[in-house]
Structure 1
Amino acid sequence: MINRQLVRWTMVLSSLALVGCGQTEGETSAPSTGQLEQEVPEETVVLIEDAAGNSVEVPKNPQRVAVFDNGQLDNMASIGMEDRVVLTASPNLPEHLSNYEAIEAAGSFFEIDLEVTNAAEPDLIIVAGRSSSAYDDLSDIAPTIDLSNDSTQYIDSISANLNRLAAIFETEEEVDSLISELESELDELNRRAEESDMTTLMAMYNEGSLSAYGPGSRFGVVHDAFGFMPVDNEIEESNHGMEISYEYVLSMDPDILFLIDRTAAIGGDTSAAPVEENPIIQETQAYQTDSIHYLSPSAWYLAEGGVGTFRIMMQEVSEAIE
């Protein structure tokens, strides 16, 4: 796990404004305590190094925040700052983020409405993942930080982003406790996954076709963070996964088959027969031991990088080894 204090001091620098005391020439007497208190006003900004390496001066404890990523909406709620969110880009929210449904959406993740964003007068804008392409345009409106999640370093990425938010909203104690809880829960899942000694295939199901994801890939968190043994260590890394056939699944014959239904995630046609109705799949160990598990597409596909999402993910995979 990351050294939390080292990360925090590396990425956050507080900016202090010093006001001159206005002494006339020749004055040498030391200022009183009262004068010193007036000369060093309270800090108003923090310098944040975001996940994309940008150094951004951010107002401390901002009151109006535009959040254009479901994972970061999740994190804002996790640190008790959901009431600061004045704008999203997510008209269709996962169930665990339904508290944000009444908030105006500025376009979509892939096409942020800049006029709506400007009219909302945010003090801070947060982008990540799909919305990060709008970073430059949004930076012209208000201080903007990119908190994109690194799926290959999932828990470290979540922890780093939580620490960035903690520095901005002054919630360091709460975030330290939250990260400790997550790490403890993850350690327990790792232990159980290792003890199960069960091989696993992570796949995306999309209108009848299958794509596999191995360690180090977009959904490699199953192996990299959660500790499940991959049935195949040679899966090609790709954002859209390695295209596989039903025959491939049978040849690998995993003990556990995890599936994300992308069609359901994006509201597409879900009338295609589910994977388990295929006669080839029915020959697999996973099918015969009732170990085909559909994972929540709204969490895995649409809200990655959030604390609540991470807990949903851990709970779902843990059901495979109960």
Structure 2
Amino acid sequence: MKKWSFLVLMVSMFLLLAACGAKEETKTEPTETKTAAAEKLTIEHKYGNVEIDKNPEKVVVFDFGILDTLDELGVEVTGVPQAAIPSYLEKYAGEKYTNVGSLKEPDFEAIHAMQPDVIFISTRQAELYDQFAEIAPTVYVELDYTKYMESFEKNMNLVGEIFDKKDEVASSVKEIKASVDELNKKASALDKKALIVLANEGKVSAYGPSSRFGVIHDVFGFGAADEKIEVSTHGQSITMEYIMETNPDVLFVIDRNTAVGGEAGAEKVIENELVKKTTAFQEDKITYLDPDAWYLSGGGLQSVKLMAEEIEASL
């Protein structure tokens, strides 16, 4: 009987120790997970420094170039401004994603309700930075048009660091830079002078080197039909007489109206009797660029590739 009692006691102690070990193991695992999830990054940008968690889960994106990049990398986002989303990113207009307003008019109430881990904004929302920052850590990204590829690569590397996608970003950027270098060689060898214009409800603006669309000259290799175009966000206002007198070999046209959801009308505006006298028209070298990539989402892994491919096709 004593032997039996002793055996029961030993089994009970063994089970108790096993249970304690299991509890301890269960307690340790979440602690390790929590430590890994709490890794912080300090991001320096134009408006100061901001600390964010690495691999943030609730992501709000107001820059379509960054949205385009996260889409390419397979990173999930939570909220986007669903007004005038680029057609190739139209899935983000679905109910799966929270609508946070428009590029110029954010819905701060909706953003606050989401309690995001990070918000990405760019030039169009710059003046509202403080309001975003009151809600959640806000990262400001921008493209330096005078150093387009360097700026683009810097932004991509930032995304790669935040979301643990450094290798994927490096591979994509390397591929894009190689195709851009090849494009530059071809375009430079043509020795053709190009003019870039933005058509907007009957009005036309021109863009030259170092401007918003100056990547065509500065990076892709086309010479400028006019080297003295005023550098500004909205371009230099021009007339049809100006286009005729400048007489570009190649004319690149961006239809802003289409980009913001209106009807296409650039062709009717541009192809008038004066422009028809230019070399560009007579040699069938007027190219209407994709307004989604050029006007809405430039600077992303997908958009820069699309932009280069369009210019390549125009050759």
Name the CA shift for 1:268/1:227 in 2 (closer, same or farther; >3 Å): same
Equivalent residue letter for 1:46:
L
Q: How does 1:54-203 map to 2 (within 5 A)?
A: 54-81=48-75, 83=76, 85-102=77-94, 103-203=97-197
Give the superposition deviation at 1:174.
1.1
Taking structure 1 as the reference length, the TM-score comes to 0.82
Distance across 1 between alignment mates of 2:47 and 2:256: 31
Q: Contact (CA 8 Å) 1:232, 1:252: kept in 2 or not?
A: yes
Q: Residue by residue, what CA displacement relative to the aligned partner does 1:273-312 show, whole Å, maximum 9, x if unpaired?
A: 6245311111111111100011111211111221111111
Over 3 Å counting, the alpha-carbon distance change for 1:177 and 1:53 in structure 2 is farther
Q: Tell me the TM-score normalized by structure 2.
A: 0.84
**Given the alignment of the two structures, is residue 285 of structure 1 paired with residue 282 of structure 2, yes or no?**
no
Code of the residue aligned with 2:131 in structure 1: it is D
Distance in 1 between residues matched to 2:232 and 2:255, nearest whole Å: 17
Partner Cα separation in structure 2 for residue 302 and residue 96 of structure 1: 11
Displacement of 1:266 after TM fit?
2.2
In structure 2, do the counterparts of structure 1 residues 90 and 155 end up closer, same or farther at CA, with 3 Å as the change threshold? farther
Tell me how far apart the structure 1 counterparts of residues 294 and 164 of structure 2 sit (CA, whole Å): 29
Which AA in structure 2 matches 1:132?
Answer: A
Residue 130 of structure 1 aligns to a residue whose secondary structure is: helix
What's the offset of the Cα at 1:272? 7.3
Q: How far apart are the structure 1 equivalents of 2:234 and 2:168?
A: 36
Match of 2:290 among 289, 292, 296: 296
Cα distance in structure 2, aligned partners of 1:212 and 1:177: 34
Write the distance in 2 (CA, Å) between the matches of 1:225 and 1:255. Answer: 18
CA contact (8 A) 1:208 1:273 kept: no
Q: How many residues align?
A: 280
Counterpart among 256, 265, 268 of residue 262 in structure 1: 256
- CA radius of gyration, larger in: 2
The answer as to whether partners of 1:207 and 1:269 remain within 8 angstroms in 2 is no
Distance in 2, matches of 1:154 and 1:124, equals: 25
Greater fraction helix? 2
Which residue of the other structure, out of 39, 45, 56, is the alignment partner of 2:40? 45
SS of 2:126's partner is helix
Question: Hey, what's the Cα distance between the residues in 1 that align with 2:247 and 2:57?
Answer: 53
Provide the identity percentage: 40
Q: Which amino acid aligns with 2:115?
A: E
Deviation, 1:91, is 2.5
Q: 1:114 offset after TM fit, Å?
A: 1.4
Q: Do the aligned residues in 2 keep the contact of 1:112 with 1:134 (CA within 8 Å)?
A: no
Q: Which amino acid aligns with 2:224?
A: P
User: How many Å apart are 1:151 and its aligned residue?
Assistant: 2.6
For residues 207 and 144 of structure 1, what CA distance do their matches in structure 2 show? 34
Q: What corresponds to 1:237 in structure 2?
A: 231
